[in-house]
Amino acid sequence: MTPFENLSSACRRSAGFTLIELMTTVLIAGILLSVATPYFSDFILGQRIRTAASDLASSLVYARSEAVKRNTGVTVAPATGGWQNGWTVTVGAAVLGSHEAFTGLTLTGPVGGLVYNSSGRLAAVPTPFSISASGSSAVPRCVSVDLSGLPGNATGSC
């Protein structure tokens, strides 16, 4: 005789969850999820803003390094319609890289773009890039570029 054969039938029936317990757990999880959803969407939007700022700063560092490597000017220019529609990194007519649009974000920066000279520097300090989401409580980001051509990425408006 095995040890499980000695258990009474009442003991074996109480080993699982009842339907009432399961429904209560699902109800509590649903209430917690409905409370957390607005905060989660702001979190996701904040991460998209942070990603856009990081991608822009990476493109600026790439353009600077290509200008030094190639010993010629490299341009980072906005796509048609502005920076929120993307940008390209070019040397003359050759496109070294491009970035797609950021939907749902407002991205503003220097109107004519930036031109890195052969030493990796800029001729003048450009206006900073501002990245935000309209109608949201997500914190905006500011990407600024100093005369040496190095970008800085900071939280808050410019």
CATH number, position 120: 3.55.40.10
Please report, in tens digits, the pLDDT of each residue of the chain (158 residues total).
Answer: 555 555 555 555 567 889 999 999 999 999 988 887 778 888 889 999 999 999 999 999 999 999 999 999 999 999 998 998 999 999 999 999 999 998 889 999 998 899 999 999 998 888 999 999 877 778 899 999 998 889 999 998 88
- Residues near 27 by Cβ (< 8 Å), separated by ≥ 6? none
Domain count, the chain: 1
> What letter would DSSP give residue 5?
G
C-alpha dist (Å) from residue 149 to 1, 42, 61, 64, 77: 82, 32, 8, 7, 15
Q: Structural domain of residue 27, as residue ranges? A: 3-155
